[in-house]
């Protein structure tokens, strides 16, 4: 009997403690607002893709999503920590990793429509590592709620902020992945082309996007989100402007570096052995910077 009474006492104490714990959370099972400031820790998985000069879809190349080729989609993941004020405004610090790629050969089935994009025969891939600080705006929670008032579980939101990311475009040559930035494939950093500066492999970006969040319970949120990164570079794929005079490479490189630069600057001869490289021919479009985006599913723990 004594043991039974002891167990009963422990159960009662545990139930009482649980009630106290859940009273501290901003939402109970019926979704009531109580605390002004909360925190959310979580992670996400999803897809990453990019808009660059390479690959794309049939035709001459269109702007934004009209030239997106979903076959280039890669995996991405992230972890994040948010500080949330009355569920209306959140400040989120997030680390994201993934990769992007593109290849002109993806256009082979429609090569007759691409006006030379397929024949250009360039390709790249790069890892993306990123840290961002963004603000989330939840319009449905801007109403002034009083304690004990029911809140909507579903909340669409907008976001924007600033980030820092690293990339390093590579191309496959003779079964090896060769870094493109040190090869100055478009004359970046050469005295013969003073207007073409070397691009940095670590830069700022500006994420903007939208999502929708669902409050599963007092402890967990689930979100679906799309974020587009505005970049200040057109060299995510190492392609931006015109072909240079290939004889210039010998003024700056020797050995394997010279050979790699010559082979990766103009790859049209791989498809057409009679091709003669000409300086000034179009290699990329400098009018539009590159960009990349993610579509993620997120799970957050509220504390």
> In the chain, what are the domain boundaries?
26-174+200-236+291-302
- The stretch 218-243 carries a mean pLDDT of 96
What's the pLDDT score for residue 113?
82
Q: Within the chain, what is the greatest distance between any pair of CA atoms?
A: 97
Using pLDDT thresholds of 50, 70 and 90, give the confidence band for residue 2.
very low
CA distance 170 to 144: 52
What's the pLDDT score for residue 98?
98
What's the pLDDT score for residue 148?
57
Residues, the chain: 303
What's the pLDDT score for residue 279?
87
Is the Cβ–Cβ distance between 171 and 178 less than 8 Å?
Answer: yes
Residue 31 vs residue 226, higher pLDDT: 226
Using pLDDT thresholds of 50, 70 and 90, give the confidence band for residue 115.
confident
Choose the most confident range, by mean pLDDT, from 4-8, 10-14, 254-258: 254-258
275 three-state secondary structure? coil
- The stretch 280-295 carries a mean pLDDT of 93
Rounded (10°) CA dihedral 102, 107, 109, 110: 150
- The stretch 49-67 carries a mean pLDDT of 75
**Choice among 109-113, 197-201, 257-261 with the minimum mean pLDDT:** 109-113
- The stretch 73-96 carries a mean pLDDT of 96
pLDDT at 16 over 60: no
What tens digit of pLDDT does each residue of 258-271 get?
999 999 999 999 99
- The stretch 127-144 carries a mean pLDDT of 92
What's the pLDDT score for residue 118?
92
Is the Cβ–Cβ distance between 199 and 166 less than 8 Å?
Answer: no
What's the pLDDT score for residue 151?
75
Using pLDDT thresholds of 50, 70 and 90, give the confidence band for residue 63.
low
User: How many C-beta atoms surround the C-beta of residue 120 within 10 A?
Assistant: 23
Unique residue bearing structure tokens 């600057």: 265
Unique residue bearing structure tokens 């009482």: 16
Average pLDDT, the chain: 87
What tens digit of pLDDT does each residue of 116-128 get?
889 999 999 999 9
What kind of architecture, by CATH, is found in domain 26-174+200-236+291-302? Beta Barrel (2.40)
**Choice among 21-25, 281-285, 288-292 with the minimum mean pLDDT:** 21-25
**Choice among 98-112, 122-136, 145-159 with the minimum mean pLDDT:** 145-159
What's the pLDDT score for residue 276?
87
What's the pLDDT score for residue 3?
44
- The stretch 119-148 carries a mean pLDDT of 88
CA distance 146 to 28: 15
What's the pLDDT score for residue 144?
64
User: How many C-beta atoms surround the C-beta of residue 204 within 10 A?
Assistant: 13
Is the Cβ–Cβ distance between 175 and 237 less than 8 Å?
Answer: no
pLDDT at 34 over 70: no
């Amino acid at each position: 009997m004594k043991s039974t009474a002891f167990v009963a006492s422990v159960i009662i104490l545990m139930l009482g403690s649980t009630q106290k714990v859940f009273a501290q959370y901003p939402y109970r099972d019926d979704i009531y607002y109580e605390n002004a400031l909360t925190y959310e820790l979580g992670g996400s998985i999803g897809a990453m893709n990019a808009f660059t000069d390479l690959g794309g879809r049939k035709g001459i190349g269109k702007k934004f999503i009209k030239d997106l080729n979903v076959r280039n989609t890669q995996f991405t993941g992230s972890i994040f920590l948010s500080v949330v004020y009355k569920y209306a405004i959140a400040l989120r610090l997030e680390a994201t990793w993934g990769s992007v790629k593109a290849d002109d050969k993806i256009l082979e089935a429609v090569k007759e429509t691409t006006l030379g994009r397929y024949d250009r025969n360039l390709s790249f891939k790069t890892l993306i590592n990123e840290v961002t600080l963004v603000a989330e705006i939840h319009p449905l929670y801007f109403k002034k709620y009083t304690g004990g008032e029911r809140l909507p579980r579903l909340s669409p939101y907008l976001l924007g902020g600033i980030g820092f990311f690293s990339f390093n475009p590579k191309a496959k040559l003779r079964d090896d992945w060769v870094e493109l930035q040190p090869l100055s494939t478009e004359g970046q950093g050469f005295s013969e082309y003073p207007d073409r500066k070397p691009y940095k492999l670590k830069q700022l970006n500006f994420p903007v996007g939208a999502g929708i969040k669902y409050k599963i319970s007092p402890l967990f949120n689930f979100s679906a989100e799309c974020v587009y990164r505005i970049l200040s570079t057109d060299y995510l794929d190492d392609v931006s402007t015109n072909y240079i005079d290939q004889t210039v490479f010998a003024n700056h490189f020797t050995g394997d570096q010279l050979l790699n630069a010559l082979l990766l600057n103009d790859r049209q001869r791989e498809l057409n052995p009679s091709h003669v490289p000409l300086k000034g021919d179009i290699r990329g479009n400098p009018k539009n910077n590159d960009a990349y985006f993610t579509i993620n599913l997120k799970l957050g723990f509220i504390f």
